[in-house]
């Protein structure tokens, strides 16, 4: 899907009638296992294309950036988007936040 339509998130965000299809798209990028172990369910997220490659893509061409600019606010409640935000925060955002806050601590 993303090889043929790399801008599918942008297309769905631009058309108000297609906004419900964002949920369907994100539901398709998530797989639930059948086994429950210790009250937890296995879930696989297929978010490579939404995450983007910072070495190849423009920062504003990734799926998350398009959602930030054009997406409806309720889409951030979807588990796929929450997982994507969690990964971005843990890999980049937390470090930058702590560096900026440490400047204020030193002042």
How many other C-beta atoms lie within 10 A of the C-beta of residue 55? 5
Q: Is-above-0.85 flag for pTM? A: no
Query: Are 66 and 75 contacting, i.e. CB atoms less than 8 angstroms apart?
Result: no
Alpha carbons 52 and 60: distance in angstroms, whole number: 10
As a whole number of angstroms, the distance between CA 86 and CA 34 comes to 24
Quick: pLDDT tens for 67-94.
Answer: 889 888 889 999 999 999 999 888 888 8
Looking at per-residue pLDDT, the higher value among 49 and 82 belongs to 82
pLDDT of residue 6: 84
Confidence of residue 57 (pLDDT cuts 50, 70, 90): low
- Asked if 57 and 4 touch (Cβ cutoff 8 Å), the reply is no
Residue pair 47/29 in contact by the 8 Å Cβ criterion: yes
């Amino acid at each position: 899907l993303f090889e043929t339509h790399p801008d599918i998130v942008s297309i769905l965000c631009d058309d108000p009638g297609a906004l419900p299809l964002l949920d369907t798209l994100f539901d398709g990028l998530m797989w639930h296992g059948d086994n429950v172990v210790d009250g937890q369910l296995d879930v696989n997220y297929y978010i490579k294309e939404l995450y983007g490659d910072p070495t190849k893509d423009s920062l504003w061409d990734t799926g998350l950036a398009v959602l930030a600019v054009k997406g409806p606010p309720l889409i951030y409640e979807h588990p796929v988007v929450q997982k994507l935000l969690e990964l971005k925060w843990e890999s980049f955002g937390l470090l930058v936040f702590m560096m900026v806050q440490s400047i204020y601590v030193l002042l």
